[in-house]
Copies of this chain bind each other. A is one copy, B any other.
């Protein structure tokens, strides 16, 4: 057994920390306990960090390097966390994924350059960790830049995309394999550094051509990457806690990517290797075709009246609401109606907004109690019993073509059945399509009337009119 108390303490601390991480993930399963869960997790991490200071290898100057690093990084992270807008959450998460990947890559590299006679298994973990971590790093930076609009949404690269991809993957596999075979020595180190650089490039080249609207999926995938990279560095330094923690992250990333892909009725491969480039043109055509079809407009006061005198109203918020930062005005309108005895609920599509659960956060920020928010499965049956549906900056998630039109690119994607309600009022700026780039027949449905303009402005008018009504 363990004959040394210092090591025993460290082992125990790591073990407890692992247990805390697992429990915390369980607590994150319900809004009531989620906050405690988050605190348990950070508690576990802090415990592990403190324990690590007792490791024998850490001595003298190391403390200063470590403490300084923690201070700098921690402060930076804290500021970011406080400053970020809720609408910018995807960018924030992208950055964090990148930093996670970077850490794992750096661990792999410095372990390989710093130590000699490492076992084959360890070297393999090093090579893989270096590749995956680096891709997570640069890929996330590109994703961030796209979400921020720093680089154009769809950047066609010169040359055949499939070819480039294949080349990059092949090259990294080759270099990685060589590293593992050499296993040791100056040459091996050079090869690993080349692998590292190639992987950094690969992250950029793989994500660059992906459409900006697919970034959320990319982010979830890179989230998984950062987790897998953590697992691998766990194998590198032979630490179970890192393996377990990384696995939990990886599982979450994989699950959310699949969820999004499913909700968008796309395959992961289709997102990454993008047959998607085609759709928008189709969308453009769709939009063109759209103009010809009749569209009923509605005046704010008319819309306000039918809202004010309805029994049941369902609000369908979408990405546009986020863009317009209209969440607070929506809440104001909703409570106005509720005061008048109208039953107001929110229907949240799993991929409304720009990342999973994004709408819930935005509306929570606007003090909408989460038990007014209904997930699609729970509320889809109720639209038929609803008087007015208020669609605010949502488009694809309401598109009936997903149910009716087998030729539609989004056919099969589960959508909110808004067109079953008595009346539908749509708030958007114009007739342009959503991110899927497809025409939405809902807007031409006789039940539907459009209130054009920026969501926030339109809602402002509605509020005024409802007050008047």
Interface of A toward B, CB cutoff 8 Å: 1, 119-121
Contact = CB atoms under 8 A, between A and B. Distances in A.
A2 to B, nearest CB: 11
A267 B121 CA distance: 50
A338 B370 CA distance: 41
Nearest 3 A/B pairs, CB to CB: A1-B121, A1-B120, A1-B119
A1 B120 CA distance: 9
Contacts of A1: 119-121
A1 to B, nearest CB: 6
A380 B67 CA distance: 59
3 contacts: A1-B119, A1-B120, A1-B121
Contacts of A121: 1
Contacts of A119: 1
A237 to B, nearest CB: 18
A367 to B, nearest CB: 31
Nearest to A119: B1
A124 to B, nearest CB: 11
Nearest to A120: B1
A404 B262 CA distance: 49
A8 to B, nearest CB: 14
A201 to B, nearest CB: 33
A287 B71 CA distance: 73
A213 B117 CA distance: 66
Nearest to A1: B121
A120 B119 CA distance: 31
A54 to B, nearest CB: 25
A93 B356 CA distance: 45
A243 to B, nearest CB: 16
A120 B2 CA distance: 12
A19 to B, nearest CB: 15
A121 B2 CA distance: 12
A120 B3 CA distance: 13
A169 to B, nearest CB: 26
A251 B120 CA distance: 38
A315 to B, nearest CB: 28
A262 to B, nearest CB: 20
A384 to B, nearest CB: 22
A98 B443 CA distance: 68
A119 B1 CA distance: 9
A120 B120 CA distance: 33
A240 to B, nearest CB: 14
A300 to B, nearest CB: 42
Contacts of A120: 1
A341 B5 CA distance: 74
A119 to B, nearest CB: 8
A1 B119 CA distance: 9
A247 to B, nearest CB: 14
A121 B121 CA distance: 29
A315 B228 CA distance: 53
A1 B122 CA distance: 11
A378 to B, nearest CB: 16
A439 to B, nearest CB: 39
A125 to B, nearest CB: 13
Nearest to A121: B1
A120 B1 CA distance: 9
A181 to B, nearest CB: 16
A23 to B, nearest CB: 16
A402 to B, nearest CB: 27
A326 to B, nearest CB: 38
A369 to B, nearest CB: 23
